[in-house]
Amino acid sequence: MTRVTFRKLVQYLERQCNFHKEFRPALDLDGSGVTWTCDNSLAFTKKFCDENNLDFPQVKALLEANGGFCDCEVLFNCVERISEATFLRAR
């Protein structure tokens, strides 16, 4: 996965996870009012990989090694953890 492809994945996940403000007391555990869509899997990531001819097991291994065990965790954890050095090592 290239740096550009990773950025596209992040943009795709931001749309699919649909982060938005909404007052739903049962789901608003931290009081922020922010909710999103995630089924605790990498389903959106897998779909992105399938649509972009990427090796999902390889992408999954990279994301999980950086705390991305589901689609929202990719956004919460991987964006900051996956650095330029990660892409340089992959070459």
pLDDT on residue 48: 98
Amino acid letter, residue 17: C
How far apart are alpha carbons 25 and 6 in whole angstroms?
A: 34
**Tokens at 67, concatenated:** 């705390």
The set of residues, in sequence order, having a beta carbon less than 8 Å from that of 67 and lying 6+ positions away, is 73, 76, 77, 78, 81
Spell out where 5-89 has E strands: 20-21, 34-35
**φ, ψ at 2 (rounded to 5°):** -90, 170
pLDDT tens figures, 42-84? 999 999 999 999 999 999 999 999 999 999 999 999 998 887 5
**What is the pTM for the complete model shown?**
0.79
**Percentage above 70 pLDDT, the chain:** 76
User: What is the band of 30 on the pLDDT scale with cuts at 50, 70, 90?
Assistant: low
